[in-house]
């Protein structure tokens, strides 16, 4: 790949600086290296031979959260996050890729079983305090640098994946006709299993059948890292799985997966056959929030009044334009008082594996988020992305807040269980 191919898009930057408005990284560092204008300027400088590819480009390219907030504030509407991913791809070619990425992207993510195994080792290590084992293995050690600080991001790892309990395959539902495919993202599969269980319950109430797919990773992590090839491989495997059954709709409760799968046609820009397949299948795909909003959901019951606030995952609000729906859903649940937090659509700093690679920066972004969360006085902090949930839970612990982080499915399906959850946590 040659960054010159992106010259037109990069040159569209007028250097007005409006991207600085809402870039969480720039707002933390105040450094031009951490904002769209600067990143674009450097890529342009490379094209115009003022700057060479070198390690110096790592920080500007890799400390981007990819949250897309800059595009919202850009007069020219430049898709900087996409351009950064492309820049990263060239960087990896020119400056080099670490072996650990090869292990993760080429040998773990495409194979759910291997990933489960790795996660089990990691969980064993983490839960038993054998941090060396945890460090040495799999999912958590993605890109390395700040990992030792990031180790506490996940409090406790389940020993069994979600699909170890609810095995891939078709399950009957009580709905009339809808045949639903349930895409289980890595986050739900390995960490946020409570969310998955509640999603499953809701889907079974709505659908005639729910098929838990034997999908692999959606491909977003390697894509974000600039490894388009690995992403395409994963996407291609998943497309085969989508077309292997007959579904009216495929749902995922991970907004990041949803937003990326909707983008599949873009990945296969150079493969016409696969692109056609992606174009045909991607309309079937729905974010859980979107699905609930379109299909309705069983009326939730709640006994005690609670205060709820909502965090917009970047991949929901900017990735898919979902903002109104979750708020409408939350407001429709009896007993819930919804309170909007300031800057609800600002990135939480999790950004997939970002928190592990850039822990300090990520925490600065998270601190701002937590201040906003706390200002609402909410009992529940709701979102629709498991990666955000990991980060937000870490923030709640770090700031000592009495707030439960949960997936929107958990509130919709398990109102009573949630209350019990609060009491248990408080007494513990």
Encoding tokens for residue 87? 């820049």
For another protein, the binding residue among 60, 219, 319, 352 (CB under 8 A) is 60
Closest alpha carbon to 174 in 298, 318, 343: 298
Q: How many CB atoms are located within 10 Å of the residue 117 CB?
A: 15
**C-beta of 82: minimal distance to another protein in Å?**
18
Helices (H), 245-287: 255-262, 264-267, 272-281
Parallel, antiparallel or unpaired: strands 285-287 and 306-310: unpaired
Minimum distance of another protein from residue 54's CB (angstroms): 8
Query: What strands lie across the sheet with 169-172, from one edge to the other?
Result: 169-172, 209-212, 179-183, 249-252, 285-287
Q: Rounded to a whole number, what is the largest CA-CA distance in the chain?
A: 65
**Closer of 52 and 243 to another protein (Cβ):** 52
Stretch binding another protein (CB under 8 A), from 69-77, 95-103, 158-166, 305-313: 69-77
Q: Contacts with another protein: how many residues (CB under 8 A)? A: 33
Q: What does residue 86 show for φ and ψ, rounded to 5 degrees?
A: -70, -40
Least CB distance to another protein at residue 365 (A):
15
**Member of 75, 148, 165, 375 binding another protein (CB under 8 A):** 75
Total Cβ atoms within 10 A of residue 366: 26
- Using the rule CB under 8 A, is 173 a contact of another protein? no
Which 76-105 positions form the footprint of another protein (CB under 8 A)?
A: 76-77
Q: 129 in helix, strand or coil?
A: coil
- Count Cβ atoms below 10 Å from residue 226 Cβ, excluding itself: 23
DSSP assignments along 40-91, one per residue: HHHHHHHHTTSS--SGGGHHHHHT-----HHHHT-TT---HHHHHHHHHHHH
Q: Choose between 74 and 190: whose C-beta lies nearer to another protein.
A: 74
CA nearest to 347, candidates 72, 115, 91: 72
Instruction: Provide the minimum distance between the beta carbon of 72 and another protein in the complex, in angstroms, as a whole number.
Output: 11
Q: How far apart are CA 229 and CA 235, in angstroms?
A: 10
How open is the CA angle 363-60-261, to the nearest 5 degrees? 75
The CA R_g of the chain, rounded to the nearest whole Å, is 21
What H or E segment, with its residue span, contains residue 193? helix 193-206
CB of 59 to another protein, least distance (A): 8
- In whole angstroms, the minimum distance from the beta carbon of 360 to another protein comes to 11
Tell me how far, at minimum, the Cβ of 262 lies from another protein, in Å: 23
Residue 12 in contact with another protein, rule: CB under 8 A: yes
Which single residue is written with the structure tokens 């929107």? 408
Q: Which range binds another protein by CB under 8 A, 72-80, 221-229, 309-317, 381-389?
A: 72-80
Judged by CB under 8 A, does residue 375 bind another protein? no
Of 52 and 128, nearer to another protein (C-beta) is: 52
Residues in 14-53 at the binding interface with another protein, rule: CB under 8 A: 14-18, 20-21, 29-33, 38, 41-42, 45, 50-52
Q: Which is nearer to another protein, 50 or 266 (CB)?
A: 50
Q: How far is the CB of 48 from another protein (least distance, A)?
A: 8
For another protein, the closer of residues 41 and 322 by Cβ is 41
Closer residue to another protein (CB): 248 or 328? 328
Nearer to another protein, 187 or 349 (CB): 349
Q: Smaller CB distance to another protein: residue 52 or 159? A: 52
In the complex with another protein, which residue's Cβ is closer, 75 or 131?
75
Residues 265-304 binding another protein (CB under 8 A) are none
Nearest distance in Å: CB 366, another protein: 18
Of the candidate residues 25, 36, 57, 137, the single one contacting another protein (CB under 8 A): 57
Measured from the CB atom, the residue of 37 and 101 that comes closer to another protein is 37
CB-based contacts of 143, cutoff 8 Å, min separation 6:
98, 100, 101, 225, 353, 356, 357
Question: What is the distance between the alpha carbons of residues 292 and 223, in angstroms, rounded to a whole number?
Answer: 28
Count CB-CB contacts under 10 A for residue 159.
13
The smaller minimum CB distance to another protein, of residues 73 and 114, is found at: 73
Quote the strand ranges of 325-392, DSSP E.
Answer: 336-338, 380-383
Q: Which residues bind another protein (CB under 8 A)?
A: 7-8, 11-12, 14-18, 20-21, 29-33, 38, 41-42, 45, 50-52, 54, 56-57, 59-60, 73-77
């Amino acid at each position: 790949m040659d960054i010159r191919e992106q010259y037109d898009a990069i040159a569209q930057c007028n250097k007005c600086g409006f991207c600085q408005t809402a870039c969480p990284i720039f707002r933390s560092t105040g450094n031009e290296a951490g904002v769209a204008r600067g990143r674009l300027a450097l890529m342009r400088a490379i094209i115009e031979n003022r700057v060479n590819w070198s390690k110096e480009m790592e920080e500007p390219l890799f400390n981007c959260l990819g949250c897309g907030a800059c595009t919202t504030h850009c007069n020219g509407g430049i898709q900087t996050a996409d351009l950064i991913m492309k820049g990263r791809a060239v960087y990896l070619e020119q400056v080099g890729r670490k072996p650990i990425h090869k292990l993760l992207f080429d040998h773990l993510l495409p194979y759910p079983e291997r990933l489960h195994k790795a996660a089990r080792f990691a969980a064993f290590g983490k839960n038993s305090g054998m941090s060396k084992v945890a460090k040495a293995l799999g999912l958590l050690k993605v890109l390395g640098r700040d990992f030792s600080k990031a180790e506490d991001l996940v409090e406790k790892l389940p020993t069994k994946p979600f699909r170890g309990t609810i095995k891939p395959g078709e399950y009957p539902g009580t709905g009339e006709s809808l045949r639903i495919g349930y895409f289980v993202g890595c986050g739900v599969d390995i960490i946020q299993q409570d969310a998955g269980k509640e999603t499953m319950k809701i889907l079974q109430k709505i659908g005639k059948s729910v098929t838990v797919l034997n999908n692999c990773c959606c491909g977003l992590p390697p894509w974000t890292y600039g490894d388009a090839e690995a992403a395409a491989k994963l996407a291609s495997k998943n497309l085969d799985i989508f077309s292997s059954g007959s579904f009216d709709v495929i749902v995922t409760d991970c907004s990041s997966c949803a937003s990326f799968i909707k983008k599949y046609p873009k990945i296969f820009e150079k493969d016409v056959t696969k692109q056609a397949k992606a174009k045909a299948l991607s309309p079937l795909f729905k974010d859980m929030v979107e699905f609930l909003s379109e299909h309705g959901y069983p009326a939730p019951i709640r006994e005690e009044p609670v205060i709820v606030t909502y965090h917009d995952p970047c991949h929901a609000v900017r990735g898919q334009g979902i903002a109104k729906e979750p708020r409408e859903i939350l407001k429709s649940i009896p007993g819930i008082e919804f309170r909007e937090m300031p800057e609800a659509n600002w990135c939480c700093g999790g950004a997939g594996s970002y928190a592990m690679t850039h822990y300090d920066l990520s925490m600065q972004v998270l601190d701002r988020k937590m201040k906003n969360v706390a200002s609402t006085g909410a009992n529940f902090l709701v979102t629709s992305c498991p990666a955000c949930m990991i980060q937000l839970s870490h923030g709640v612990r770090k700031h000592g807040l009495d707030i439960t982080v949960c997936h929107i499915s958990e509130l919709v399906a398990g109102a009573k269980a949630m209350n019990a959850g609060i009491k248990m946590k408080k007494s513990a």
